[in-house]
Amino acid sequence: MGCEHEDLKMNLMICMRGEPDQLPFLPEIAELGAGIELGSYGLIGVQSERDWEARFARHQAVRTQFQGTIAIHGPFIGMEYGHIDHLIRDVVNHRLDMTFDVAVKLKARRVVLHSGYGREYDLFKMKDLWLKNNVGFWKQGIGRWADAGIEIALENETDQVPDLLVKLVDEVNNPSFGICFDIGHAHLFSELDASEWVRRMDHRLLHVHLHDNDGKGDCHWPLGRGTIDFEPFYAALLRHAAQATISLEVEDKLRMEVKMADLRKLAAHFTSKQRSTGVSS
C-alpha cells in the first residue's frame, strides 16, 4: 500500500474550571475546533451546596459564550457505583442525580466519571462482585443519559490493566457507555504500555485524559515535562480508536497560556489532515 494516506484528525478538548481568567481564551479554543471539559465539582463543588452552585455558575458563564462541544468531569472521591452498602448507594445516587442535572443544563455531550474501582476490591477478593454490581447499576442507569444525548465515559484510576473496564462496557452494551483512558494514571499504576491499553480498549474508548508525569506522582504536567512517550500512543489511537476525543488535562493551577500552548501543538499535530504514511506520493 505505497500511497496510503491516513486521516490524522482527532477530536480535541481542553479541561478547565471555568475561572474568569480563562474566558478570554474561548474564541481561540473554538477556532482550533476543540471542545471544553468543565470540571472542579470533584474537589471543590462537592464541599458544600454553595460551592456546587458557584461551580455551576462559572460553567454556565462558559456555556453562554461557547457554542462548541462540552463535556463535564463529574465528582469522583467516594463515588462507587453499585456500592455494597445501601446507604452509601443512596448518597452516590443523589450526587449522580445532581451531576445529571448539571450536564443537561449545560447541554453536555459527555460526562466523565471515575470507575470507582479501587485496591480494596483486590484486597478483599471482591472483583467479581464489583463487576456484577456495576453491570447492574449501569445497565439500569445508562438509559436516562442516553435519552438526553449524553455519553458516560468511565475513567481508570489505579487500574493496572483495562480488562475490568472492558468487561464492564461489553456487558452493559450500550453505545452511550464507554471508557475514558487517563494516560497519566496508567503511567503511575500500570506496567502495561499505553498503546496496549488502547489496543485492548479499542472501540470502547471514547475519551482520553492527556497530561504528563514522572511516574512518581499524578502531576498533570504539560506534555513533555515528564517521562510519557506520547508519539506511539498517538499512533495507537489513530489506529484503534480514532473515534476518541483527546482531552488535555494539564493542571488547572498552571497559567492558561501554558495549557493553550499544548492545545495549539496538539491541534497542529492532528489537523494535518492528509499526511503520507507510506512511500511519498
**Residues at the site binding Zn ion, with contacts judged by CB under 5 A:** 182, 209, 249
Which residue number, 171 or 252, has a Cβ lying nearer to Zn ion?
Answer: 252
Q: Parallel, antiparallel, or unpaired for β 5-7 and 274-276?
A: antiparallel
Which residue number, 55 or 133, has a Cβ lying nearer to Zn ion?
Answer: 55
Which residue number, 23 or 44, has a Cβ lying nearer to Zn ion?
Answer: 44
Give the angle 72-211-276 at the CA atoms, nearest 5°: 100
One-letter amino acid at 217 equals G
Which residue number, 80 or 157, has a Cβ lying nearer to Zn ion?
Answer: 157
Cell numbers 462482585: residue: 129
Q: Parallel, antiparallel, or unpaired for β 274-276 and 110-114?
A: unpaired
Cell digits of residue 106: 449545560
Which residue number, 14 or 133, has a Cβ lying nearer to Zn ion?
Answer: 14
CB of 279 to Zn ion, least distance (A): 39
The closest alpha carbon to 95, from 72, 118, 117, belongs to 72
Sign of CA pseudo-dihedral 208, 213, 216, 219: negative
CB of 114 to Zn ion, least distance (A): 8
Task: Determine the Cα–Cα distance for residues 90 and 116; give it in Å rounded to an integer.
Answer: 15
Cell numbers 463515588: residue: 79
* DSSP class per residue in 56-82: HHHHHHHHHH--S-EEEE---TT--TT
Which residue number, 151 or 249, has a Cβ lying nearer to Zn ion?
Answer: 249
CB of 158 to Zn ion, least distance (A): 12
CB of 80 to Zn ion, least distance (A): 17
CB of 186 to Zn ion, least distance (A): 10
Nearest residue to Zn ion, by Cβ distance, number only: 209
CB of 5 to Zn ion, least distance (A): 32
